[in-house]
Amino acid sequence: MDAAQILLVVMWVGVTLYALLAGADFGGGIWDLVAGRSRAGMPQRRLIEHSIGPVWEANHVWLIFVIVVLWTGYPPVFAAVMSTLYIPLTLAALGIIARGAAFVFRKASTELWQQRLFGAAFATSSVLTPFFLGTVAGGIASGRVPPGLATGDLVTSWLNPTSLLGGVLAVGVCAYLAAVYLCDDAGRAGLPGLAEGFRRRALFAGLGVGAVVLGGIAVVRWDAPRLFDGLAHRALPLVVAAAVLGLLSLALLWRRSYLSVRITAALAVTAVLWGWPLAQYPVMLPPGLTVEVAAADPAVLGATLVVLAVGALLVVPSMTWLLLLQRRTPYDPGAHG
């Protein structure tokens, strides 16, 4: 592998971490939205706050990481994506900002109407943000982002069948991951009632995501034939792995094996995420902008990899320790009263 390929793999590791960690945080906001009225939904909302509170802001490190690597390592791709898809990207950025501000203000508010207002903003932006990020992925994957500054259509590049499929799938995956993680969190906290409730939600979300994927096969085959061909051939092992892991996750949920399903669900999503670049490799922007053509000068790529290696020595242990501390901190419902 040359430097351009190595950097691409490193960048996609960042995409995967953002999807698995920040995606679950978005999903927590989705379940916050449907938790019910203030009193009835309070136990669920308190568990969600406890689960995402210590790390929710830190997870956006991976999004920043991906953007910086794309900008530095593959400038033509960065320029095309940011200029053609600036509408959904701006809406996603506003959603991230609104979500974070609402999460903090709801926690600090004392009036019920304020808590409801900020809670609604937090939950709504938790749905819209992954949806718009999913439409961006769909626009790129379906070949609607040509090289150059804003050379693609500013509307149909992200409002098209594959993008809408990507948006719905992103929201569903976020909800599914969050419900799976919350099952485990509630079980470890000795709250079987909450664990059972999130188990039902995880089963519902998992079946829903499966239905969307099955229906999306026809959409991708019709709207993005190059992507479909890649998924049906080169990336087929990962597609099969995702399907098997998805079914295994549902079986583990049914058996209430919450820790195991936390692992298999994450692996299933990872298989889906890596299936996309494998399906269209070496093309970064269909139909013809390849990794070799889009990559920056070899000296820039080498320097970037060195900097990333040094940064990883600082960031990865810190993030790992933060997640371990969160997992070891027991949830006390009384402390959130």
For residue 303, is it within any domain?
no
CATH label of the domain that carries residue 278 = 1.20.1630
CA distance 218 to 225: 10
Domain range for 244 is 3-297
pLDDT of 321:
84
Number of domains in the chain: 1
Ordered alpha helix ranges (H), the chain: 3-17, 23-33, 38-52, 60-73, 75-84, 86-108, 112-141, 161-188, 192-223, 225-232, 236-254, 258-280, 291-294, 298-328
Rounded percentage of the chain residues whose pLDDT exceeds 70: 94
Banded pLDDT at 334 (limits 50, 70, 90): low
The residue ranking higher by pLDDT, 59 or 298, is 298
Q: Measured between alpha carbons, how far is residue 144 from residues 138, 141, 187, 247 in Å?
A: 9, 8, 44, 32
Which class for 237: exposed (0-12), middle (13-18), buried (19 or more C-beta within 10 A)?
A: exposed
According to DSSP, residue 297 is labeled -
Question: Mean of the pLDDT values across residues 46-58?
Answer: 72
* pLDDT for residue 51 is more than 90: no
For residue 245, is it within any domain?
yes
For residue 306, is it within any domain?
no
The pLDDT tens digits of the residues spanning 59-93 come to 888 999 999 999 999 999 999 999 999 999 999 99
For 97, the token pair is 């900002």
pLDDT of 142:
96
The pLDDT tens digits of the residues spanning 249-262 come to 999 999 999 999 99
The residue ranking higher by pLDDT, 1 or 265, is 265
Banded pLDDT at 53 (limits 50, 70, 90): low
pLDDT of 332:
62
For residue 139, is it within any domain?
yes
pLDDT of 325:
76
Question: Mean of the pLDDT values across residues 114-123?
Answer: 88
In this structure, of 8-12, 84-88, 193-197, the range with the lowest mean pLDDT score is 193-197
For residue 316, is it within any domain?
no
Q: Which amino acid is at 260?
A: S
- Residue 284, H or E segment: strand 283-285
pLDDT of 40:
67
Q: Measured between alpha carbons, how far is residue 321 from residues 54, 65, 271, 312, 326 in Å?
A: 12, 19, 25, 13, 9
pLDDT of 49:
81
The residue among 107, 81, 82 whose CA lies nearest residue 284 is 81
CA atoms within 13 A on the CB side of 149: 0
For residue 58, is it within any domain?
yes
pLDDT of 251:
97
The pLDDT tens digits of the residues spanning 122-176 come to 999 999 999 999 999 999 999 999 999 999 999 999 999 999 999 999 999 999 9
For 86, the token pair is 């600036």
Rounded percentage of the chain residues whose pLDDT exceeds 90: 70
Average pLDDT, the chain: 91
For residue 320, is it within any domain?
no
Banded pLDDT at 324 (limits 50, 70, 90): confident
Banded pLDDT at 189 (limits 50, 70, 90): confident
Which position has the token pair 């150059």? 148
For residue 143, is it within any domain?
yes
CA distance 250 to 206: 7
CA distance 301 to 311: 15
